[in-house]
Amino acid sequence: MGIQITSEKYVEGAHITRGKGELVQPYGTSDTLTLNKINEHSYAQFDDKNKKPLVRIKVKPSDLDIKFALITLRGGPLLILNQEDYQLIKEKAAYDKDNLVNQYGFTFKEKNQEAEATKLLHQVNPDYETQKEISEQYRSFSSVFLFVSSFLGIAFLIAAGCIIYIKQMDETEDEMENFKILRKLGFTQEDMRKGLILKVLFNFGLPLIVGLLHAYFASWAFLKLMGSNDHSPVILVIVLYTIIYACFAVIAYTHMKRTIRQSI
């Protein structure tokens, strides 16, 4: 299924027992296998070169921090195995030797060496990129996409708020005679204000709920596509939508209350 495997000794913090494996979906890889589909019955079966069962690994999702490049993972998830299981598969399992990938990494003891090493790397080959540079590219792409989508969403949101506000004002003018009749029947302005509050909450609350659901699922789908678990952009969009609609609702209620008070 396009899954790369590696040993626990190449992953910091990994302590895996024999017969078990942890599946990681790194940020930026394609969703060839959704971790949400993994359950307590999931396993990976490896056959030997004679197509006979060699080893069966019980699989569970993991959020271990890995240091493999996307080109090493070939755009898919990574299965981390116990060292003995990994060595057994490497020696006896049936696989294409061309799929065996080596990656070499460097850990700097001093932070100031990183910038100098990056400069030397680009001198060797301008096409080479460090893990930090790749991460920054993904963050910048995500930020631009979220900014554009949020900007368009807010523009449509303000337009919708203006339309609802104008419609609310027109309805208030048309219903002015009804308010006068209610006043003659003994309803106080406090009673009418309670009715106005309910009307404003319905007219602005219903579109807000629909907008929040749309924003949530759209943002959630984008984050899922990018393989990110950071939901802070979703929360930010929801809070922003709520504030904008709340402002329109308060302005509409204030204007309606003042118009009714002056007219009756």
Predicted confidence at residue 82, as pLDDT, reads: 92
List pLDDT tens digits, range 104-113.
Answer: 877 778 877 8
- Angstrom distance (rounded) from CA 249 to CA 200: 6
DSSP per-residue string spanning 72-141: HHTTS-EEEE-HHHHHHHHHHB---GGG---------SSTHHHHHHHHHHHHH-TT---HHHHHHHHHHH
Predicted confidence at residue 223, as pLDDT, reads: 67
Predicted confidence at residue 145, as pLDDT, reads: 66
Burial code (b: 16+ CB inside 10 Å, e: under 16) for 85-123 equals: bbebbeeeeeeeeeeeeeeeeeeeeeeeeeeeeeeeeee
Residue 2 identity: G
Low-confidence ranges of the chain (pLDDT < 70): 1-2, 27-36, 135, 138-150, 222-231, 233, 262-264
First vs last C-alpha separation in the chain: 74
Kindly report whether the global pTM for this prediction surpasses the value 0.85: no
Per the CB < 8 A criterion, the answer to whether 154 and 201 are in contact is: no
Token output for 6: 């590696």
- Angstrom distance (rounded) from CA 247 to CA 233: 21
Task: Report domain extents, the chain.
Answer: 4-99, 133-263
- Angstrom distance (rounded) from CA 150 to CA 252: 25
Could you give the C-alpha distances from 244 to 153, 160, 168, 254, in angstroms and in order? 12, 11, 16, 16
List pLDDT tens digits, range 97-133.
Answer: 777 888 887 777 887 788 888 888 888 888 877 777 7
Nearest Cα to 234, choosing from 221, 246, 252?
Answer: 221
Predicted confidence at residue 84, as pLDDT, reads: 92
Helix axes 131-174, 189-226, angle to 10 degrees: 160
Residue 180 CB neighbours (<10 A): 13
List pLDDT tens digits, range 248-258.
Answer: 888 888 877 77
Cα atoms in the Cβ-side hemisphere of radius 13 Å centred on 245? 24
